[in-house]
Structure 1
Amino acid sequence: MKDLKTILRFKKIGIVLLLLSSCNAFLDEDPDNRVTLDNLDKAAQLLTNAYSIASPNFTDWMTDNVQFTQGTNKRLSHQQMYSWQDVTTGPTEQDTPNFYWFQTYSAISHANEVLAILDDLPVMEGEDQARKDAIEAEALLTRAYGHFMLVNMFGQHFGESGDGVPYIKEPETTFLGTYERKSVRRVYDDIEDDLLDGLEKVDDSFYSNSGKYHFNRNAALAFASRFYLFKRDFVRCKQYSDELLGSNPGAFVRDLTSQQFQLASSSVTEYPRQYTSPELAANLLLIRKISLTQRPDFAYGPESNFYSALFGTSIFGGLTDERENPAFVKGLNAVFPARYESLFERSSLNSSVGFPYYIHMAFTGEEVLLNRAEANAFLGNLDESIADLQVLSEKRFSGGTPTVTLQDLRDFYNDTDDVNNVLSYIIFLERRKEFIMQGLRWFDIKRYFLPVVHDLEDGSTILLEGDDLRKALQIPTSAIEVGGLEPNPR
């Protein structure tokens, strides 16, 4: 092995080899203060930085879940995203595509550093070998997940022609390198290789009490469920969803009708604290994100009347959808669904400056349940799909006993012909409500080529067509100019 592979190159990042030191203290080491990776403890510690600190929730501002919001703080980048324009702000501004690009490739670079040296670390037989395999699995899974999120932001959806993103598998060995954008399909192939290799070796036993903050086995299965759903490989989506959910899928669904959540429903801090708790079986992978999207005075949100209408749309007349609350005032005409607690990390004990952050639910049991319901609908397993919707409904609607039947769905949608369409409609509706303002809606819009209409401050409207090229976010300017990447067509 080359000596360079034993050194952490903290001043580099995957594509243009720049690190945003202001956003990640661990990456702020001087080049002369390098760390040698010479044992498994150091390798495992480095992997804590293989999870991107950038939030995907800014994508919600581009979706049909938000409307023009009066009375909130809006940066230029917010206005550009809301209007589906290419973002022109630099890579240090959080909650932007550029920030997501650089921070995620930075995380990938840490995974690659670990993978590059693992084979050369001294390992005894038995437990040390098992721990080495677990570290390798976590590195592979974080690398796969980082590229998965990048290709689904900066490329068109799987199956479309066009470029994806570079898939970086080696540590950086040059100061300024040039890179090639692989096709979306080729990126998916690389993701699949890493994902399956990681699944084979993942081992939860080494995470002690912090397992929800690492790629544990359940999180890896949830990732596989999402990956194959996006790939439209419904058989394998169902396979990995089944493996996670087992014979008691309800155990992976938080009960919003319970006293625990009802008592917390009036608090903007306690409810999200309960919702994102690592103690909940529903939360499969939790990641700290530097972001302001969890603040109610920031950017865009669901308009109040739209929000009420969305959660009032249900086959269960007279029952209450508990997902509607708590929602607090946002600006002058919108609401703020309380799912994430707004947290702040001071730069030092006595400092008044620092970083706003929240704990992001990267994968949840509810997502896997709805992934499986969708896969079963397309596979023609209608009873199984309805059974999953029933499991979710029982923990979402209060004031009576919700019962999901195919006939009720047909009556509700006035569609007596295509049962697959009827099931798809309700699943898309449930996904929209379940994950509102959690960074998933944009990807459903891309998957199903849905149009989006946004209203502007002057009362006019703008349209994003279902097949609009702007659904692939623009590659950052510095990655184009320095990294040699081709920009997305417009």
Structure 2
Amino acid sequence: MKKNIYIPIIAVALGLSLSSCDKFLDEVPDARTELDSPEKVQELLATAYPNALYAEFCETMSDNAGDKVKLSPTSVLNNQMYAWETNNEYNTRDTPAHYFYAAYKAVATANYALEAVQALGGNSNLNYLKGEALVARAYTHFMLGLFWCKPFNPATAATDLGLPYTTKAEKKVFEIYHRISLKDYYDAIEKDLTEGLALIDNTKYNKPKFHFTKEAAHAFASRFYLVKGDWDKVIEHADAALGANPDNKLRDVKAQRSRTYAQQRLLYASADEPANALIVGASSVYSRNFAFNKYGLTLEKSEEILSADSHPFGLDWSYPVFGNEDYRNIPKFQEYFKYTNVSAGNGYPYNMAVLISYDEVFLNRLEAYVMKGEKAKFLTDLVVYLRKKTSQNIRPNFALDEATMNRLYQNKGTEFDPAYTLSTQQREWLQCVVDVRRAAFVFEGLRWIDNKRLGMKVVHKKGSETLELLKEDPRRELQIPEDAISNGITANPR
């Protein structure tokens, strides 16, 4: 039986894997009567975040990946993503289809929670539940749009394809859903985000970093408006997320270098790390694969991303790179095993991962400063950021001036072709921000988002072959999973 995109509430509540849901599709379940208290709705909302990671397929598609020529092919997924081919392995963790279905399952959860809030009376004392559900629904749709839709361009958004934006709890086993325009899709995301953010109440969370707090929602908003190119709102939401002392929310990479590999891995996606705005424990085996994939971070790519040549001031990065030439890695992912039947030894692996960090928010604001011409703020904040990522001490009174910045990045930034116009200085300074972001988030998948939204050409070497992905190549948008196409979702052009 074909899977419906929207996973029934019984499957959601039980946290079942996608492969085990089919037996529930013989009839439409209705478990709303079980959501008879705010506590139960809040418990359900803990699963309104995708139970899957996008990092593996995004890193492999991006220009962070190269060919480790001495290694044999490692997986179908790694091979196909490196060549930007379609992968339909929905029962395999870390694939595009796995993320797609997990994301729509999270959306279904948010919709059932919103319906339950209304059934409980929809009073203002339940606003905190509604707020989290709306922002979670906006976030998940947004991430789907980044991978399966074209980058947002106001000139073409009305005709570019978005995805189905679902706002109702599922009532049918097989429902037909249609793609809306990218403009309408982003409008729907913005509506949910704006309405939900105003309702969030941080005091309701026992483990706030696993949920959309006010700060995390503002952090997400800074990413959303960065992709839309609304620089004023990027700054507005970044200010709200970072607060008056943003330096305290930046990851202190230099101070953490003395920790062991295991200690750094545990801390990276921990609730104890001040830099983490939103974290998740998701079904994934990425921690086993990210250093060992044939197509991944080669020595050459590592030097390109993390050497002194990529540092704005030509200094040494503090990022701790472990492993030898073919297995270079940074300790960012910690795997755990969640038992579903302890006596039988059954269960599944999951990874702790950072969905949104304050480092990203800080860099979003830096980019907005470039686009707004806020030069003094940009120059000051760049130094603040680099102090915690640079091995050498940057003296306390060091001030970066415009002339020095122009000299450091002269004739750079030619790889960009975004939807908006860039001056020569904006191109050069934007190159700085993008280089810094690339170093900060290697292995996390954010480089692919930059590749897409900034119109970068991606080149992959595969043996003696050179593969190129140009700005208008339709393969930049992942193909809709084949089961979703069978259920009426329009395929992406190929």
Counterpart of 1:109 in structure 2 is: 108
Instruction: Return the offset for 1:452.
Output: 0.6
* Structure 2 unaligned residues grouped into runs of 5+: 413-422
Counterpart of 1:195 in structure 2 is: 193
Provide the secondary structure at the position in 1 that maps to 2:323. Answer: strand
| Contact 2:115–2:169 under 8 Å retained in 1 | yes
Counterpart of 1:311 in structure 2 is: 306
Counterpart of 1:476 in structure 2 is: 481
Counterpart of 1:346 in structure 2 is: 339
For 1:478, give the aligned amino acid.
D
Residue of 246, 253, 256 corresponding to 1:249: 246
Counterpart of 1:80 in structure 2 is: 80
Distance 1:52 1:74 in 2: 26
| Contact 1:328–1:338 under 8 Å retained in 2 | no
Distance 2:204 2:9 in 1: 32
Distance 1:367 1:120 in 2: 38
Q: Which runs of structure 2 are paired with 1:46-445 in the superposition (5 Å)?
A: 46-57=44-55, 58-69=57-68, 70-71=70-71, 74-89=74-89, 91-121=90-120, 129-130=124-125, 132-159=126-153, 160=156, 161-208=159-206, 210-258=207-255, 261-264=256-259, 266-267=260-261, 269-295=262-288, 296-298=291-293, 300-312=295-307, 313=309, 314-317=311-314, 319-323=315-319, 325-329=320-324, 333-401=326-394, 403=398, 404-415=400-411, 418-445=424-451
Provide the secondary structure at the position in 2 that maps to 1:327. Answer: coil
Distance 1:185 1:19 in 2: 32
Instruction: Return the offset for 1:214.
Output: 0.8
For 2:217, give the aligned amino acid.
A
Provide the secondary structure at the position in 2 that maps to 1:321. Answer: coil
Distance 1:463 1:26 in 2: 39
RMSD over aligned Cα, in angstroms?
Answer: 2.6
Distance 1:297 1:345 in 2: 23
For 1:475, give the aligned amino acid.
I
| Contact 1:13–1:19 under 8 Å retained in 2 | no
Provide the secondary structure at the position in 2 that maps to 1:342. Answer: strand
For 1:358, give the aligned amino acid.
N
Instruction: Return the offset for 1:15.
Output: 8.3
When residues 18 and 121 of structure 1 are mapped into structure 2, their CA distance, relative to the original with a 3 A threshold, is closer
| Contact 1:16–1:478 under 8 Å retained in 2 | no
Say which is worse superposed, 354-363 or 282-291, in terms of deviation: 354-363
Distance 1:66 1:450 in 2: 14
Distance 2:386 2:120 in 1: 50
| Contact 2:130–2:196 under 8 Å retained in 1 | yes
Distance 2:88 2:273 in 1: 40
Instruction: Return the offset for 1:280.
Output: 2.2
For 1:466, give the aligned amino acid.
K
Instruction: Return the offset for 1:476.
Output: 0.7
| Contact 1:74–1:299 under 8 Å retained in 2 | yes
Counterpart of 1:489 in structure 2 is: 493
Counterpart of 1:463 in structure 2 is: 468
Provide the secondary structure at the position in 2 that maps to 1:336. Answer: coil
| Contact 1:39–1:122 under 8 Å retained in 2 | no
When residues 98 and 156 of structure 1 are mapped into structure 2, their CA distance, relative to the original with a 3 A threshold, is same
When residues 479 and 233 of structure 1 are mapped into structure 2, their CA distance, relative to the original with a 3 A threshold, is same
Per-residue deviation, residues 275-324 of structure 1 (Å, max 9, x unmatched): 2221222101111121122223345321113202321222333x32102x
| Contact 1:19–1:106 under 8 Å retained in 2 | no
Say which is worse superposed, 19-28 or 235-244, in terms of deviation: 19-28
Instruction: Return the offset for 1:93.
Output: 1.2
In the alignment of these two chains, the number of paired residues is 463
Provide the secondary structure at the position in 1 that maps to 2:174. Answer: coil
Instruction: Return the offset for 1:459.
Output: 2.1
Per-residue deviation, residues 54-90 of structure 1 (Å, max 9, x unmatched): 101021110000112343662222211110011133x
Instruction: Return the offset for 1:22.
Output: 5.4
State the identity %.
Answer: 30
When residues 72 and 168 of structure 1 are mapped into structure 2, their CA distance, relative to the original with a 3 A threshold, is farther
| Contact 1:249–1:391 under 8 Å retained in 2 | no
Distance 1:320 1:225 in 2: 29
Q: TM-score, normalised by structure 2?
A: 0.88
When residues 197 and 397 of structure 1 are mapped into structure 2, their CA distance, relative to the original with a 3 A threshold, is same
When residues 115 and 409 of structure 1 are mapped into structure 2, their CA distance, relative to the original with a 3 A threshold, is same
When residues 376 and 123 of structure 1 are mapped into structure 2, their CA distance, relative to the original with a 3 A threshold, is closer
* Structure 1 unaligned residues grouped into runs of 5+: 1-10
